[in-house]
Structure 1
């Protein structure tokens, strides 16, 4: 569970003040911001929701949290009440420019532990951040949630835990296990980095503007089960993509293009201890890792 950061001699009243609906609309009006679908902007205006997200993330005073898409600062303020430091990545320069003043106003005691970086989360790298993050907590833009999540987990191996809010259907896919109806590419690739589970649901009424879809929380706890090597990861992900490109086909047929023919695909599958007649949706990440490691003939 998250802990409230209260330094010696610091009163509880010095904890960050959280944003409500009125503050959200006032801030947006001040800087002339209207949420856009292009950037996937839906601002959380419910204090209990951001408290719940922070609690589920488990971040504490030893954590440096990477937040993506902080928007007007709702979740940021709650994170500053628990984490040692928050680094926010915001693609919108207007929002990014306003955030420091918002933090100074609503969390003056914690303001020196906050940094905002104006960047695209799809391309942000280690050199862009002032310090390596230990946790990812974010309300991800729903239109690019999966690629952003996978990029950040790959780019920042120091991230030990991730707690992200995404569209409910995407949350289901990420957390699905082998054999499930919605198990697919996102499910398997997320498991390359660690254990994945659903961590709750979020209603539409806590956002402004209210989205047309339900939202869900997904948590990833990183493990060291698979190599933290970009080349190995790319090879594994290539096999996953091929296996699910035509998900109703057997692995022998689905991997024919990837392997250079059905015969070679079958050879590699058998070498990895996988039944060539099985479908990709029945395999777990460990199966794909073994398969990618089989040398070409």
Structure 2
């Protein structure tokens, strides 16, 4: 079960892993010539309490297969292996992908067999690329691609039941925003197509190397156990197309904003009325269910 209080003291792991601290993170990076890059959105966590807290809030246990995206030098990976029996780490950087198993073997030899590393771009991951079907995503996502990666993985991996991800604070706010909020937008609606979304805490800058210029936040997504609408690919694409059109011209009424999508403002109005939506409303006022209804109107 997930932790209700993100600031609560994390449950004690089995304690087999020697977690990475600031000195170890810098030493590993220097040893293998790894230089964090903005292009890959790399900021490595070096605080043991932070990674333990992330694992605790994720609510994973030995029955989970955890997917970690962008494991970097292994700070979160080691904390996860202390709690679950299998971690599948997807890493795009070939140097980091090659080094991660060695780091785990050196710092937690008893846990090394629980780790699988998949050296590829997370945006290309399909079920057949992974050695096991993941039940939970727990990751410090690269901030420049966090939302696309999150949506892609929920789209492609139906086995994923939960996600606990660390992202830029502004992105966390957008993902968890409710209809009517100033930051409610495309990520908010699309994430809620898959499940319930909520903010799960804040993370300070000082726990990263290099120190980022932005604040960070945790977001939790729990996939609907009984989805309130069809979740097949064709339906998802249709819904997302409406969402993109509604927010492309955010300041316009839905009648005007959806004119291109529907073929004309008049046709957009007809479909909106058929879906029980006031054509004079704006996109940020609708919840995910309303967009689903609208996409189904012919």
Shared fold, TM over 0.5:
yes
Cα distance in 1 for residues equivalent to 2:125 and 2:13: 28
The 1-side partners of 2:229 and 2:74 are apart by 35
Q: Which residue of 1 aligns with 2:6?
A: none
Cα deviation digits, residues 168-216 of structure 1 (max 9, x gap)? 0000000000000100000000000101000001111000000000000
Deviations 1:98-137 (A, max 9, x none): 0001011112111111000000011111111001100000
Give the structure 2 partner of residue 131 of structure 1: 132
CA distance in 1, matches of 2:11, 2:203: 22
Deviations 1:126-163 (A, max 9, x none): 11100110000000000111101100111111110100
Within 5 Å, give how 1:177-216 maps onto structure 2.
Answer: 177-216=178-217
Distance 2:45 2:89 in 1: 16
Alignment partners' CA distance in 2, 1:23 and 1:283:
48
Q: Which residue of 240, 259, 264 corresponds with 1:261?
A: 264
Q: Does 1:241 align with 2:244?
A: yes
Q: In structure 1, the residue corresponding to 2:20 is in which secondary structure?
A: coil
Shift of 1:4: 5.5
Q: 2:229 aligns with which of 205, 215, 226?
A: 226
SS of the residue 1:110 aligns to: helix
Q: Where in structure 2 are there 5+ consecutive unaligned residues?
A: 4-9
Shift of 1:3: 5.9
Contact 1:193 1:226 in 2 (8 A): no
Per-residue deviation at 1:226? 3.0
d(CA) in 2 for partners of 1:145, 1:179: 23
Over 4 Å off, 4+ runs: 1-6
Decide whether the 8 Å contact of 1:92 with 1:118 is kept in 2: yes
Separation (CA, whole Å) in 2 of partners of 1:32 and 1:39: 15
Q: Equivalences for 1:265-276 in 2 at 5 Å?
A: 265-276=268-279
CA RMSD after TM alignment? 1.1
Q: Distance in 2 between matches of 1:83 and 1:288?
A: 37
Measured in 1, the distance between the counterparts of 2:261 and 2:85 equals 46
| Match of residue 175 from structure 1 | 176
Q: Structure 1: how far apart are the matches of 2:67 and 2:11?
A: 17
Q: What corresponds to 1:97 in structure 2?
A: 98
TM-score normalised over the length of structure 1: 0.95
The answer to whether 1:109 aligns with 2:100 is: no
Give, in whole Å, the separation in 2 of the partners of 1:111 and 1:155. 27
Does structure 2 retain, via aligned residues, the 8 Å contact 1:3–1:60? Answer: no
Structure 1 CA distance for aligned equivalents of residues 257 and 108 of structure 2: 54
Aligned to 2:160: 159
Q: What is the CA distance between 1:5 and its match in structure 2?
A: 6.1
CA contact 1:194–1:225 (8 Å) conserved in 2? no
Structure 1 distance, partners of 2:229, 2:219, is: 20
